[in-house]
Structure 1
Amino acid sequence: MIKFNDEQGAYTLEIGEIVFRWEEEPAGDYENQAKIIAANYKSNLSRIIEFMHTDIQEMYGNISLEEIEEKLGKPMIDIDNGQVTYCEQTFDDIHIFSFEFLDDEFNEMQYFSIDG
């Protein structure tokens, strides 16, 4: 069920281990769209990790794809902006990882960043 999250100043919906976020209260069939994106995220997680792998290795050294998956933490997906953010990653306690996706199937991803 969608709820307003005061801490984030946004509407959120959690499906499994994925948090969805909207700045404005979503209309229409937002829950079904979030379920589809959640399923696509999970089925493409290995591709997503491969997309981030080189940059994470540059920052944290030789780390395997499996270790990355373990340390990413819960993703937050902003459907309106097409962005996935990892605020709970456990590589360190100061950085936030994020990337943009251009379609709901995660076939096109760009602009991976490590900010902090």
Structure 2
Amino acid sequence: MSRRRAPATSRAKRPARRDTRTLAQTLLDALPPLPPPDLQPDPLPTRRGRLSAPRRPRQPRQCTVSCTYYPGAHGHGGDQPVPHLRLSGLWLEQLGFAIGAKLRITAQEGRLVIELPAG
């Protein structure tokens, strides 16, 4: 048989959870608003405490078409190899192709044109 404890009257009563949230929200409301995030890229690397001169964007000289695979039907064998291109580098950002940008890609015989949509 377990013994029941007497109510502890000496313990300080904890504030209700709602009171804690209200206090936290009041403190947050009292803070000044944060400035908008700086959307400028990080500064260029420095050499011996001096800022390096900005580099000219490099023109890509070549890109190799590699392959990736489309999976076979319903998880069965027979994965199909398909051509795969990978373009990456700071030169893309310097040309206006920022991370998350929507692109328009048009295909012609032997040529791909990758553009930022107008507007």
The answer to whether the superposition gives a TM-score over 0.5 is no
TM class by smaller structure: under 0.3
State the structure with more CA Rg. Answer: 2
Q: Which has the higher contact order (CA 8 A, sep 6+)?
A: 1
Higher helix share: 1
Structure-1-length-normalised TM-score: 0.19
Q: TM-score, normalised by structure 2?
A: 0.19
